[in-house]
């Protein structure tokens, strides 16, 4: 899991892991969710990957667009 940069210092995201067709998101609560191309859509996953790498806007994007579109809760 890579540490999320959290450039704005106000994110609920603490880490992420990028795969070819998914992204795992670790939240500051300790929960980890898997979002896949099939569950959230290819475009949304692409945006999430870009936001994760940039360190800004990921939590807001998740809350607005894919909050309940995860494929599974890991923890």
75 residues of the chain, pLDDT tens digit each: 999 999 988 899 999 999 999 999 999 999 999 999 999 999 999 999 999 999 999 999 999 999 999 999 999
| Separation between Cα atoms, residue 6 and residue 28, nearest integer Å | 11
Q: What is the pLDDT of residue 46?
A: 98
Beta-strand relationship, 13-18 and 22-27: antiparallel
**Locus of tokens 């210092």:** 9
Q: What is the pLDDT of residue 53?
A: 97
- How many structural domains comprise the chain? 1
Instruction: Name the token pair of 63.
Output: 């809350």
Q: What is the pLDDT of residue 38?
A: 98
pTM (2 decimals)?
Answer: 0.94
Domain of residue 18 covers 2-73
């Amino acid at each position: 899991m890579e540490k999320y940069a959290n450039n704005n210092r106000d994110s609920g995201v603490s880490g992420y892991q990028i795969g070819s067709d998914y992204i795992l998101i670790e939240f500051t609560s300790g929960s980890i969710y898997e979002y896949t191309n099939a569950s959230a859509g290819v475009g949304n996953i692409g945006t999430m990957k870009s936001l994760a790498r940039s360190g800004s806007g990921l939590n807001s994007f998740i809350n607005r667009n894919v909050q309940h579109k995860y494929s599974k809760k890991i923890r």
